[in-house]
Amino acid sequence: MSFARITVDPQKMGGVPCIRDLRIPVATIVDLFANGLTREKIIEYYPDLEPEDIDEALRFAAEAVREHELPLAKEWS
């Protein structure tokens, strides 16, 4: 899977995946969306973004955790 809108540059933002070299981390967009912000509100906060950037950020995040073990909290009874 390729991600045309996601860039990683060790010289920018510590090498974290960002949207189109805009210094907007993918994790920031995913976090805002996960916390209930709409695409429209995210774009209002980050007017350089396009709706396709948000879509690709979500696909990138899904791919990043696919088939990897994640440390999940133990459920307490």
CATH number at residue 59: 1.10.10.10
Instruction: Answer whether residue 24 is part of any domain.
Output: yes
Confidence band (pLDDT; 50, 70, 90) for 8? Answer: very high
Residue 21 DSSP class: T
Residue with tokens 């981390």: 25
Instruction: Answer whether residue 77 is part of any domain.
Output: no
pLDDT for 9 beyond 60? yes
| pTM, entire model | 0.83
DSSP alpha helix (H) spans, the chain:
26-34, 39-45, 51-65
Top pLDDT among 73 and 52 is at 52
Rounded (5°) CA angle 3-68-63: 20
Q: What is the largest CA-CA distance in the chain?
A: 46
pLDDT tens-place string over residues 50-70 = 999 999 999 999 998 886 766
How far is CA 40 from each of CA 6, 9, 32, 49, rounded to the nearest angstrom? 20, 27, 11, 10
Instruction: Answer whether residue 25 is part of any domain.
Output: yes
Domain span at 26: 6-65
